[in-house]
Amino acid sequence: MKAEKLIYYVSARPEAYEYWGEIGRDEARHIADLIAHRAVEQFPNIEFRVDDAWHDHLPGMELVAAHIDANWQKWVAEAATLQSAA
């Protein structure tokens, strides 16, 4: 029997990403999708789902949360640089 993947929820709520100022729902969804995409590269055994809710992280997900917290702003900046270069 195959073990089920752990699930980590990434919030697409705008207030979660208002680091540089207010953002809209579409931009927040884009950031959350980017986070999920980049985080799965580091944690391939975890399923990342994006939704519009707030979530408490499950016990054992502290490393995942810390990795995302330490990197999400860099990922957004990299994506913006790539988009402006295109």
pLDDT at 4: 81
Question: Does the residue 17 lie in any domain?
Answer: no
Secondary structure, 3-state, the chain: CCCCCEEEEEECCHHHHCCCCCCCHHHHHHHHHHHHHHHHHHCCCEEEEEECCCCCCCCCCHHHHHHHHHHHHHHHHHHHHHHHHC
pLDDT at 17: 86
Q: State residue 49 phi and psi, 5-degree precision.
A: -120, 140
pLDDT at 42: 96
Question: Does the residue 19 lie in any domain?
Answer: no
Question: Does the residue 1 lie in any domain?
Answer: no
Range(s) of the domain holding residue 79: 6-12+25-85
Question: Does the residue 18 lie in any domain?
Answer: no
Full-model pTM: 0.86
pLDDT at 86: 66
Tokens representing residue 22 in the block: 């207010």
Q: What is the pLDDT along the chain (86 residues), one digit of tens a residue?
A: 566 889 999 999 998 888 767 889 999 999 999 999 999 999 999 999 999 988 877 788 999 999 999 999 999 999 988 878 76
Question: Does the residue 43 lie in any domain?
Answer: yes
> Total structural domains in the chain?
1
Question: Does the residue 57 lie in any domain?
Answer: yes
Question: Does the residue 20 lie in any domain?
Answer: no
